[in-house]
Structure formats: C-alpha cells, structure tokens
Structure 1
Amino acid sequence: MMLRIVALLICFVSPLLQAAPVIAQRPIDLDTGSGVLHGSLLLPMADKPVPVVLMISGSGPTDRDGNNPQGGRNDSLRKLALLLANHGIASVRYDKRGVASGQPLAPDERTLSVEGYVADAQAWAQKLKADPHYGQLILLGHSEGALIAALAAPQAGADAVVSVAGSGRPLDQVIREQLKGRLPPDLEQRAGQLLDRLKAGQYDADVPAPLQVVFRPSVQPYLVSLLRQDPAAAFARLTVPALIIQGRNDIQVGVADAQALKAAQPKARLVLIDGMNHVLRIVPNDLKAQVASYNDRNLPLADELGRNLVAFIQSVH
C-alpha cells in the first residue's frame, strides 16, 4: 500500500518538477571604456532565444538587487529577476557606476550624470542585443531607473520599456512634494531655493546640515543633470510597446505620476496595483509598516506585479 502511495506521489510531483526551468546564474561584465561594470545574469536554459530584461535600479546608492544602505535591504530587483527566470525570461541587473561594485568607476560623485547612466544602459543593451541567446530586449526601470530606461530605449534598440514606480514629473516637483510639511518652515523654504538654483543650472555650497543628505555640494552636478529631465516627455518619445506599473500604496511615487506617463504615451498599458508600495510589496498604507517593509527581504512581491509583467513581456514581438 505504501509503495502505491509513493508511486502516485511521484506521478503527481514529476510533471511539476519537469515544468521548472533550468536557470543559469552567473556574473556578467561590461567594459565601458572607463572601467568595468558588474552585473548578474539569470538565463533560463532553452533551445531558442529567450526574452531578456535589462533592469535599471533606482536613485542614490541603490545596487543591482534593489538594496540601498540609506533606504533598506529588501532584494526587490533580485526577487523580480528570479520571478522572471521561473517564467522563461532572462534578465541582467547591474551595479551602476559609483554604486556598490561600480564604485571604482566614479569614486567622486561629482562625475555622475543622467547622461552617463543612459550611456551605460545603452552599452549594456548593445551587448545583450549582440548575444544569440536572447530574443526581445526589454528595458525595465524602477523609480529613477524608469527615466533612464525611457531615455536610453531609442538608441538601445529596445523592443519594449517597462516603468515600475517611475515619476511622471520633473524631480524638483517630486522633492518639493516629499519635503512639504516634513521640515521646519525655514528649512523647507531653503530647500525650495536650492531646487530653484539647481534647476537653473547653478550650484550652491551654502547647504544647512539637515539638507546635506539631499543637496550636498558633491551631488549637485548630478542633480543639475537630473532636474533638466522631463520624465513624461521622455516617455512620450517612445515608439515601442510600453508598460506602466504603479502601486497605490507607494509613499514615494504616486498614482498621478503613472497617469501622467499614460497621458504622455496613450498607447502604453497602465497597471495600478492595490496595496503595492515602492518596494513592490503589499503593505498597508501606514508609515510604520511601510518603513519596515523596506528592510524585509522575506515579504513576497505583489502577485499582480509578476502576472502583469510576465504577460506583457510574452506579448512583445
């Protein structure tokens, strides 16, 4: 009787085991001409080319896995890469110059710029386009990475673009909104003055200590390059299929941003996910729970995120 039960169990489990793809996980590097960027490749084994997603992480020192020493360790992009691989979709995620293993390429953050990040994304894309293991190339950007993806896509030869929690407004508007009511009036006023000067392309070394984390002089060259960008305008220039994914419980980027991207690119598909926050988890709209989620690697990704993303990628031809 026991043997029969075991045999039935094997018959039931075997098809599930066979359905799981074999996935190669290995490092992948890019020689930029000014140093080597390091990344992680997940490649499902297949007898034909598979779609490949180039993941571009968000702002500040956010690494290839979506972790940030200032903003939490939650492995959001690593988990997303694993999800895609389990559905037969390859991915490459990488440390940007100046971040984690990319630190040697920009030991002085004064050398960083949006244009430099765009050029790196385009170089990664060209490397993947030349590899016969891959079919369609999808650029996926999270948060600020969504802007980099939209700017890089035309020259990268991307077949599609995905914006996840991407802003639909210039950054100065986002920063003003995030700081509003969270600083003493004098500091909020000074932050506004700094934003005005940086948006005009002017540096300002007189930064009060509480504002250094955002406006320190060494990061101002990057901010100047960022503040002259218009995410909605960049998204409007796309000529390939595009997907906009936005969580309704995101405390950093709002639904209005996603709707602004959709208005700029009416052909894009817009997906709003109830309960999803900025690190792609289902979390109550409560500040304490939100902050905790940024440092919780065990929380699963939002189910709707995976379903919509996989369906979109599989529809790209």
Structure 2
Amino acid sequence: MFLRFAAVAMALAFTTVTPAEAAPRLVPAADREVVFTVDGTTTYGTLHVPEHRPGQRLPAALLLPGSGPTDRDGNQPPALTPNTLALVAEALGEDQVATLRFDKYGTGRTGLGAYEDRPEELDHPAFVRQAQAAYGVLRDQPETNRHALTIVGHSEGAMTALQLGGTVHPRPTGLALLQPQAIRLLDLVTLQLKDQIAEATRQGQFTPEEQRVINTAIDAAVTAMRERRPVDTTELPAPIAQLFEAFQGTSHQFVMTSDAIHPPDTVAALRPGTRVLVTCGTNDPQVPCATTDALTTALRHAHVGTPGRVTLHGVDHLLHDDAHPDTLAPAVLNALHRFTKC
C-alpha cells in the first residue's frame, strides 16, 4: 500500500503545473513618451499600453482633443484641468485598449512648431495632417493590432475623427464621437452666443429689444465672415466684438477652413459597418443634443454600426455629472465600455 501511494505521489510531482507555467508573467501597464514629426513640427504624445501578455497585439485608439489650446490630457492649463483625455485613456485601458494622445499645435511640448513665426498660416487641415500622422504612429507600435484601430474624438476632435475615418489606412474599425462638433463652426458659435445672450436677458442684463439687436448683429457678423467682408462689431457687446475681431486676426485661416466643413458630409467616406458612438449630454450647453441630429441621420444612411447616438443624462461638455465633477460620469464610462465591446 505504501509503495502504491509513493508511486502516485511521484506521478503527481512530475505532472503538477507550476504557478509560473499556469500563469505566464504579464507585461505591466505603462505610459511612454512618443515623438513624431509632421510638416516640420516635432509632436509629443503619450502612448498608454495596458497590462498584456508578452507579444500580445492590443486594440488601440487615437485620442483627439477639443477646441482651443487643449493639450494631450484634455487640459488648458492653468485655468482648466479636467484631464478629459487622460481619463478616457484610463477608461479604455481598463478594457485592454492601448491609446495614443498628443499635444496638438499650440499646446504642451509641441507648441506652434513650424508655425511659430507664422501663426496666421495655421489652418484646420494642418491639425488634420497632424492627427493622420499620429494615427500612423499608433498603427506601427509593436503592441498594436492593426486590424483593431479606432479613433476617439472629443468636441472639435470628434469632427477631426470623422475626417480621418474616411481617409486613413487601414480604415478604423470604429469612431467614438464624444460631445461632437456636428455642425459648421460658425453655426455652432452663433448658437452658443445666442444662448448666452438669452440667459443674460433672463437675468435682466439686456432688454428683449437689445437681445434682438444683438442676435441680428451676430447673424450679420457670421454672414460677413463667410463672404470675406469686414465684420461690423458696433452693435455687439464688447466680449462678442472681441471674439469676432480675433476670428478676423491670427486665427482667421483656422476659423474659415474649419467652418467650411459640414460634419455630416464627411460621413459618406466611412466604411459601411464601421461602429460609431455619438454622445450628447443633457447638461452640455456647448453641444446641445439637437446639433447632432443631422450627423446621426447621415450615419444611419451610411449604414455604419452600433452603438449609435447615446444621450448622457446629466452630463456636461467635459463628460462630468454633478456627482462626479472630477472624473468621467458613469454614463460616459458605460458608453465607452459598450463601444469597445461592440
């Protein structure tokens, strides 16, 4: 009997799998700096690679920031630091998606680059080319699955994502358009300004007649810009007058080339079946849900895939809600999770 037990014990000793064999060592999650050059400008970014098996190829997403001097993390320091894109990268990493985010022109370590001495020449296509180059960098990373590339854009970055979706190679398998700029730039500016004037009128800062005059002046200013005529700012409140003066100054090329894009028109170039997420927040005055109607219709006609438009109740433009002012709202996390699992 003892010999039989000894034989069994010896057999088990030779067949037992060691912990190292049962669970191969994982490569820990890490961020690394990425540097690439486009149009003579050295561009700096962060590649986030989640924990993975050695040699594993991961789905990967290019992250594109919103308008203005918004850096790779989704911040406009020092005044505005919501970390929007850094938090999106973290959320996607939890779903085993690698991400690349970068400092676009005028932000972070990249700065104005080749446009330092000629900022008036910086136009929207330059930002698109920069994003296209970043997509190529992400595609060529050793951890990237080239057949599972997506683009995630926030606000203005969502419009850029749409433009890339129909032009880059390989075509992305999905686009996540978070609180997207879904109508022409100056139409969106008009909507935002009129909403602000309406609120100021409700608070007694303007009379209804003054509100009407200002709204008419805003419409006239936009028409003048589109017709390449000087803008008459005499009927506009000082802050709005200064905005249109800036639109005619150094940023003129960018404003006009961005305004020339009607986002729903870019949808036709997407590959049928591309999965697309469009979000809108009910607490987002910058991109009201109604502004995404035409884009949603165009996507449906283009026969793209799910999850489609998702209304985020109580969520603002920076993807927060009242209970989560410093992190992504749960509704946002749920939408991103659905997108990655489609």
- TM-score class, shorter-chain normalisation, is 0.7 to 0.9
Count of aligned pairs between the two proteins: 284
After superposition, where does 1:236-251 map in structure 2 within 5 Å?
236-239=268-271, 240-251=274-285
The alignment partner of 2:33 has SS state of strand
Give deviations 1:187-221, integer Å, cap 9, x for gaps: 54443333213223x26376675232354111111
Give deviations 1:240-291, integer Å, cap 9, x for gaps: 221112212111101112332211111351111111110001139xxxxxxx
After superposition, where does 1:198-277 map in structure 2 within 5 Å?
198-200=225-227, 202=228, 204=230, 209-210=238-239, 211-213=241-243, 215-216=245-246, 217-239=249-271, 240-266=274-300, 267-268=304-305, 269-277=308-316
1:121 to 131, 145, 150: 131
2:164 to 136, 147, 152: 152
Question: Which residue of structure 1 lines up, in the alignment, with residue 45 of structure 2?
Answer: 39
With the length of structure 2 as denominator, give the TM-score of the two structures.
0.76
Cα shift at 1:56: 0.6
- Give the whole-Å Cα distance in 2 for the aligned partners of 1:199 and 1:146: 23
The alignment partner of 2:69 has SS state of coil
2:35 is the counterpart of 1:29? yes
CA 1:160–1:96 in structure 2 vs 1: closer, same or farther (change >3 Å)?
same
- Give the whole-Å Cα distance in 2 for the aligned partners of 1:229 and 1:257: 15
Cα shift at 1:110: 1.4
Question: Which residue of structure 1 lines up, in the alignment, with residue 220 of structure 2?
Answer: 193
Unaligned runs of 5+ residues in structure 2 are: 1-23, 198-209
Letter in 2 for 1:153: G
1:137 to 136, 146, 149: 149
CA 1:70–1:197 in structure 2 vs 1: closer, same or farther (change >3 Å)?
farther
Contact 1:42 / 1:90 at 8 angstroms: preserved in 2? yes
Cα shift at 1:64: 1.2
Contact 2:65 / 2:157 at 8 angstroms: preserved in 1? yes
Letter in 1 for 2:57: P
Contact 2:181 / 2:287 at 8 angstroms: preserved in 1? yes
For the aligned residues, what is the CA RMSD? 2.5
- Give the whole-Å Cα distance in 1 for the aligned partners of 2:297 and 2:61: 25
- Give the whole-Å Cα distance in 1 for the aligned partners of 2:94 and 2:156: 26
Contact 2:166 / 2:266 at 8 angstroms: preserved in 1? no
Letter in 1 for 2:150: I
Question: Which residue of structure 1 lines up, in the alignment, with residue 327 of structure 2?
Answer: 300
The alignment partner of 1:100 has SS state of coil
Contact 1:61 / 1:99 at 8 angstroms: preserved in 2? yes
2:57 to 31, 38, 49: 49
- Give the whole-Å Cα distance in 2 for the aligned partners of 1:26 and 1:194: 45
Letter in 1 for 2:296: K
Contact 2:231 / 2:244 at 8 angstroms: preserved in 1? no
2:186 is the counterpart of 1:180? no
Question: Which residue of structure 2 lines up, in the alignment, with residue 8 of structure 1?
Answer: none
With the length of structure 1 as denominator, give the TM-score of the two structures.
0.81
Contact 1:170 / 1:228 at 8 angstroms: preserved in 2? yes
Give deviations 1:36-90, integer Å, cap 9, x for gaps: 1111111013231111111110111111111124972211111111121122111
